[in-house]
């Protein structure tokens, strides 16, 4: 069993819970497990090819899974996973002075 | 009745940060309890290093525009909060038992209202407020907004 921290934007899908549990051997199966419990969650985290969206960061304990084995990163009992969507934006380029 | 209360000292720090970062955009997070901001987390703007992710997030017109710019120029018109800084800030929030209440970023030469890209990208965070610091005029303008499903609502905040 692993503990997954759910970011504010995904909490409507988890009934407001900020932490949930999943039984999973790797990140991929964790996402599937979460989607089974909270339908629609996978679509928010993964693109239509099943890859983790670039603006969604997933941390295993303290490490970004991109620097581990991505969605194949193995999990063990007691691991803590955090899902952290990016915060990004832009200005008004057409109003930018020359 | 105000939607958010921000200590004047934190607002002053945010404006100073925006001025120091100009012509690039600065960005950060505000946290606290209820409607009261108590903590300010300055986050690095790493949009220059996020070209691929930017392609997925930003609208087509903006992508063309961004790709025509150097990495430094991209940071003039866009921001992407550093993932590691964000993770560290959120860890600190959990430790202090406070919640993320608002994001902020600067518009060095454009108005204090969400750009089309802001409306698209910040829609990932409909439950928090978004403060935009404009340095377009000599006196900085800081407005706060909520962005839900493409709809922008200006909210009222007070400083104390």
| Greatest Cα-to-Cα distance within chain B, rounded to the nearest angstrom | 45
Tens-of-pLDDT digits for all 160 residues of chain B? 899 999 999 999 999 999 999 988 999 999 999 999 999 999 999 887 776 666 666 665 565 566 666 766 667 778 889 988 999 999 999 999 999 999 999 999 999 999 888 888 888 888 899 999 999 999 999 999 999 988 999 999 999 9
Chain A segment 5-44 residues within 8 A of B by beta carbon are 8-9, 11
**Cα separation, A5 vs A84, whole angstroms:** 9
The full set of domain ranges for chain B reads 4-44+82-159
Kindly identify which residue of chain A lies nearest to residue B107, measuring between CA atoms: A91
Q: ipTM beyond 0.85?
A: no
Interface contact flag, B117 A90, Cβ < 8 Å: yes
Residue B10 token pair? 């934190």
Domains of chain A: 2-88 (3.10.20.30)
Contact B111 A95 (CB under 8 A): yes
**To the nearest whole angstrom, how far is the Cα of B157 from the nearest Cα of chain A?**
21
The domain made up of B4-44+82-159 is a member of CATH 3.40.140.10: yes
Nearest-CA distance from A7 to chain B in Å?
A: 9
**Inter-chain CB proximity A54 and B83 less than 8 Å:** no
Q: What is the pLDDT of residues A39-69, one digit of tens each?
A: 999 999 998 899 998 888 999 998 899 889 9
Do B105 and B44 form a contact (C-beta atoms < 8 A)? no
Q: How many CB pairs under 8 A join A and B?
A: 112
Q: Is the pTM of this model over 0.90?
A: no
């Amino acid at each position: 069993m692993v503990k997954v921290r759910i970011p504010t934007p995904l909490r409507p899908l988890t009934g407001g819970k900020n932490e949930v549990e999943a039984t999973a051997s790797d990140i991929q199966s964790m996402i599937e497990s979460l989607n089974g419990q909270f339908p629609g969650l996978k679509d928010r985290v993964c693109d239509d090819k099943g890859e983790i969206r670039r603006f969604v960061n997933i941390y295993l304990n303290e490490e970004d899974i991109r620097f581990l084995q991505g969605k194949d990163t193995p999990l063990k009992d007691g691991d803590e996973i955090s899902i952290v969507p990016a915060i990004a934006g832009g200005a008004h380029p057409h109003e930018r002075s020359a | 009745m105000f939607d958010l209360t921000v200590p004047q000292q934190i607002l002053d720090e945010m404006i100073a940060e925006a001025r120091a970062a100009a012509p690039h955009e600065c960005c950060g997070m505000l946290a606290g309890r209820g409607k009261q901001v108590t903590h300010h987390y300055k986050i690095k703007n790493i949009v220059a290093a996020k070209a691929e992710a930017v392609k997925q997030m930003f609208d087509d017109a903006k992508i063309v525009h961004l790709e025509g710019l150097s990495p430094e120029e991209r940071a003039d018109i866009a921001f992407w909060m550093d993932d590691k800084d964000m993770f560290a800030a959120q860890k600190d929030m959990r430790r202090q038992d406070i919640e993320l209440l608002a994001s902020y970023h600067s518009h060095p030469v454009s108005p204090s209202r969400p750009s089309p890209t802001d409306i698209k990208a910040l829609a990932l965070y409909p439950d928090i407020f978004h403060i935009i610091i404009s340095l377009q005029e000599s006196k900085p303008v800081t407005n706060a907004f909520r962005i839900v499903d493409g709809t922008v609502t200006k909210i009222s905040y007070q400083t104390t």
